[in-house]
Amino acid sequence: MNRLRVIFVAATGVIALGGVLWMHHPGSALSPVSAPPAYGTTGFQVTAISERGNLFLSNGETRPLGIRAPAFLVEARLHSDEQTAWEFLFDGFLFTALPGSAVRFTPQTRDLILERGEFYWERKQEGRRIEISLFKGGNIFKLSAAGRIRLGADLEIWNYSEPIDFDLNGTLYRVEERQYWSSRDGGKQLTVSLLPAPPFVSPETLTLALAQPNDTIVQFKWKSVQGAREYVFKLYPSALRDHLLLSRAVDENAVTLDIMPFIEYPLLHWEVAALDPVRRIEMVPARMGVIRISSSLLKKGLMPQPPMIEVSSLSVSGEMVLIKGATDPHARLYIDGTPVKMDSAGKFIHTISFRSIGIKEIVFRAVAPSGLESLLKKQVTIFEE
C-alpha cells in the first residue's frame, strides 16, 4: 500500500510539473478554435482566440499561447498583438478582449488586473459578484452583470446593468446602471445616460447560398429605441469583434447592405446600438446577429456594380414634369436631391414643378447598398403657357 502511495504521489508531481513547463513553453502554433467555456467553474481559462495574429504569455512577444493552456499555476501576463482578439472566463464572467489588450492573473491571490486595451464582460453564472483591478493592483473595480471598458490614456466605462463601484488611484467612483463614464478632457468626469439595446433584430441567424449577384443583398432591421435619433451598425467576421469590416451611422432602424466585398468570410456577425449624435457615444448594443454563407457560385473577386437608372418617360405639362422610370429595387433614388419611393420592382413615378420657363436640368442619383452611386442628367424645356 505504501508503495502504491509513493507511485501515485510521484506521478501526480510529474503531471503538475509538466503542466507548468508546458504553460511557459506552449509551442508556436496558435489554435484558432475555441474551447467550450465551463461557466460554473472558478479560476481563469482562455476560451477563444481569433485567427489573426497571436496571444502571448510574456512581456515580450516570444511565447505564443493557445487555448489548450492548462490551469494557470503561477502569475501570468497575457497580451495580444494589434490583430488578435481573445476570450477568457474568470470566476463565472466571460470577457472579450479586443486586439492589443493585456491582463495579469495571480492564481495564489485570485487577482485579475486589466492592464490595457478594451474589454466586454458578461456574467454567465447568476448571483456572482466579483472584484478585479484596473491598470494596477489596488484600483478595485466591482463588476456589474454586463458592460464594456476601455483602458488607455483615459478610462471609459459603458455600464449596461447594475451599479459599479470602483477605486481609481485612491478616489472612489460610482457608475449607475445604463450609464457611460469617462475621465476624458483633462481628468474631468463625463457621465451620460445610456439608451437601452434595440429589443429585436433581424436577421438573428441567416444562411445564404450565393448564386446570383443580388443574393448578396441583405436587409438588417431592428426595433426602434425610444429617444434614439441615430444608430451605429457594425459588421465583423467574428463574434470576438477582432476585425471591424464596416461601421455605419444611420438615422433609420434598417440598413440594406451588399455583402459582396465580404463573401470571403464564412460567417458575418453584426450588431447595432443607438448612438449619441452629439458626443458620438455608443449606447447598449443589441445581441449579435449571424450571417452564414453556406456556398457561393459567384466568381472570386467579383465586385459590386453601380445601380442602373432608366428614365422611360418625361412628360411636360405647363410647369409640371411627370417622370417615369426604374432603378435597382435595392437602391435609394434621389431626383434633384429629393428621395423618391419605388415599388418592389424598382419602378417609380415622380413629379417636379418649376417656377420659371426655359431649359431645366434634372439630376437622378441612385445609391446601391454597397455605397456605389450612379448619376444621370436629363433636360426638359418649360414653355410659357
Look at residue 22 and tell me whether its pLDDT is greater than 70. no
Which tens digits make up the pLDDT trace of 283-325? 999 999 999 988 776 655 556 678 899 999 999 998 899 999 9
- The pLDDT, as a whole number, for residue 143 is 95
User: If you average pLDDT over residues 266-293, what whole number do you get?
Assistant: 95
Answer yes or no: are the C-beta atoms of 354 and 319 closer than 8 Å.
yes
- 296-317 burial, b if ≥16 CB within 10 A, otherwise e? beeeeeeebebbebebeeeeee
CATH topology of domain 2-193: Jelly Rolls (2.60.120)
What residues contact residue 315 under an 8 Å CB cut-off, 6+ apart? 321, 322, 323
pLDDT on residue 16? 42
CB contact burial 334-348 (16+ within 10 A = b; e otherwise):
bbeeeebebeeebeb
Answer whether residue 34 shows pLDDT above 50.
yes
Q: Which residue has the higher pLDDT, 385 or 382?
A: 382
Taking the alpha carbons of 47, 75, 152, 42 in that order, is the dihedral positive or negative? positive
pLDDT tens digit sequence for 204-213: 999 988 877 7
Please give the mean pLDDT across all residues of the chain.
85
159, 179 Cβ separation under 8 angstroms? yes
Unique residue bearing C-alpha cell 502511495: 5
Identical fold for domains 2-193 and 309-382, yes or no, is no
**pLDDT surpassing 90 at residue 54:** no
Whole-model pTM: value is: 0.74
- Segment holding 18, helix H or strand E: helix 2-24
| Topology of the domain covering 201-296 | Immunoglobulin-like (2.60.40)
Which pLDDT does position 297 carry in this prediction? 64
Question: Which phi and psi (to 5°) does residue 309 adopt?
Answer: -130, 125
- Residue-wise pLDDT for 62-101, tens only, equals 677 776 666 677 888 999 999 999 999 999 999 999 999 9
Pair 339, 187: CB distance under 8 Å = no
Tell me which of 185 and 365 has the higher pLDDT. 365
**Mean local confidence (pLDDT), 5-29:** 41
pLDDT interval class at 107 (50, 70, 90): confident
Q: Are 39 and 92 in contact (CB under 8 A)?
A: yes
What is the residue-wise DSSP string for 337-383?
Answer: TEEE---TTSEEEEEEE-SS-EEEEEEEEEE-TTS-EEEEEEEEEEP
What topology is assigned to 309-382 in CATH? Immunoglobulin-like (2.60.40)
Which residue did the predictor score with more confidence, 169 or 371? 169
Residue 212 confidence (pLDDT): 76
Q: Domain ranges in the chain?
A: 2-193, 201-296, 309-382
**Beta strand pairing call for 55-56 and 86-90:** unpaired
